[in-house]
Amino acid sequence: MKAKNNFFILMMVLGALISVKAQDTVTMDLKACMRYAVEHSTKMRIAQADNRDAQIDRRDAILAAFTPTIEGGTYAYSNFGRSIDPETNTYIRTTSFHNGYSLSAGINLFNGFQAVNNLKITKTAQLMGLTKEQQTEDQICLATMEAYCNVLYYTEMQKALQAQVATAEKAVQLATRQEQLGQKSHADVVQMQSDLAERQYQLTTCRNNLNNAIITLKDVMFWLIEKPLKIDGLAVGLSHRGSRTDDISQMVEFAKTNMPAVLLAEGTMKNARLALKTARWQLLPRLSLYGGWSSSFFTYPGMEGYVPTPYFEQLKNNGGEYVQLSLSIPIFDRLSKHSNIARKKNAYDRAQADYEQTLQTVEAEVRRAIADRDGSADALRQADTRAELQQEAYALNTKRFEQGLISSIEYQTASNNYLNALAEQLNARLQYFIKNSVVNYYGGTSYILQ
């Protein structure tokens, strides 16, 4: 009775461990993988930190353009030697104590439109930061999609190879039995065993590739490498494959206007132009306005019979204000401003060239993506047809081999052809899915929303 109870408890513990292990394995589809990758990517964290810096720069530009700089100061010191009496303006040799306060403010009235241009530059930089974040998200989603498809490819290939191994094992058993009955030669049996070993080797290689693909997917997603991850089936949606109804010119124009790479290049060019304008305006005079207040207190603690004026009364009596209008005229600065203008002009020329090159590159990428998508659709149709025919041929050859109508070499050839057709069909299907997604992306639909 005690043994039965111990066995029952042991089974419960094992069941609980299996249940916990099953719960630890997370199953995710493609969109879930993309969302996880975007939320946990270090690249996204870097892009978001850059955006926060851009927001700070924007705030600083606004404050610099519309608010003054304000400074306050105070001091206190004791003089033990010869000093000037603030009341009589004569030298004395009595220990004295001095305390003072000051408050000043200043604002640039005109500085070559630098503040205004900085406002525009920081606004563009802030928009570029958001665009850069979107570009980073798109790149992460595409990398996740490719890694996901690799995992799916090797998963499906592993299933196909497992079926091939099972079929090869049955063929070896059948050939061995037929050899015993005198219907097959020993060479046929050896050939079938060789075919089985080949299938087992391919299955082992596929499993290794699958493990590597899973590690790559985890790395792209920033998933814990030791944490189990299982992918759900991919609905590739091939009902519309091979569509050539896209307006290529319209898609090219849309991409030239909305792609993150174009927006970033355009923003860089705009900021370079504003920086050039700012550098040219620096040749003009600068006009600034300043104002301030200051006061002080003093006493002679070591002087006999001296009665100091009360503290607040001294601050009131010694207080003074000032207003200053400053005009700074550049005359000669060793041509540093002219050199700065030349450098800014070169930067603007580089930004223009980069923008034009980006437009050219995006147009080529869009047209290439459409051509690749259409070509992969044709390849997929052919791969489907070939897989269907090879599947039928393999089934027929399997029956003929069981009946002893074909040799083991012919059967192995049929098996290899069918396996290759399955691999090519799966690869064509996934290639079409990725390339069709790229075309949709250039058409305005982000990867994570497809």
Residue that is written with structure tokens 């002009």 in the block: 345
DSSP E strands: which ranges in 37-179?
69-79, 83-84, 91-92, 96-110
Beta carbons of 393 and 417 less than 8 angstroms apart = yes
44-79 residue pLDDT tens: 999 999 999 999 999 999 999 999 999 999 999 998
407-416 residue pLDDT tens: 878 888 888 8
Residue that is written with structure tokens 């100061």 in the block: 73
Helix axes 336-402, 408-442, angle to 10 degrees: 150
What CA dihedral angle connects 372, 373, 378 and 381, to 10 degrees? 140
User: For residue 441, which amino acid is it?
Assistant: Y
Beta carbons of 211 and 155 less than 8 angstroms apart = no
Q: Is 302 helix (H, G, I), strand (E, B) or coil?
A: coil
pTM > 0.75: yes or no? yes
Query: Given the DSSP bridges, would you call strands 69-79 and 96-110 parallel, antiparallel or unpaired?
Result: antiparallel
In this prediction, residue 172 carries a pLDDT of: 87
Find, among 387, 366, 377, the residue nearest to 238 by Cα: 377
Q: Determine the Cα angle at 419 with ends 388 and 168, to 5°.
A: 115
Beta carbons of 148 and 33 less than 8 angstroms apart = yes
Measure CA of the first residue to CA of the last residue in the chain; give whole Å: 61
293-340 residue pLDDT tens: 999 998 988 777 778 889 999 999 999 999 999 999 999 888 999 999
Structure tokens at 395: 């089934």
b/e code 193-209 from CB counts within 10 Å (16+ = b): bebbebbeebbeebeeb
Q: Topology of domain 13-67+113-155+195-283+332-449, per CATH?
A: Outer membrane efflux proteins (OEP) (1.20.1600)
Distances (CA, A) of 207 to 18, 151, 215: 23, 10, 12
Going by pLDDT thresholds of 50, 70 and 90, the confidence category of residue 244 is: low
Residue that is written with structure tokens 């700012």 in the block: 278
Whether the predicted pLDDT of 242 surpasses 80: no
* Domain(s) of CATH 1.20.1600.10: residues in the chain: 13-67+113-155+195-283+332-449
In this prediction, residue 80 carries a pLDDT of: 85
Distances (CA, A) of 268 to 127, 132, 258, 336, 394: 11, 12, 15, 24, 60
DSSP E strands: which ranges in 85-219?
91-92, 96-110
Residue that is written with structure tokens 């006999």 in the block: 304
Tell whether the torsion through CA atoms of 232, 233, 236 and 237 is positive or negative: negative
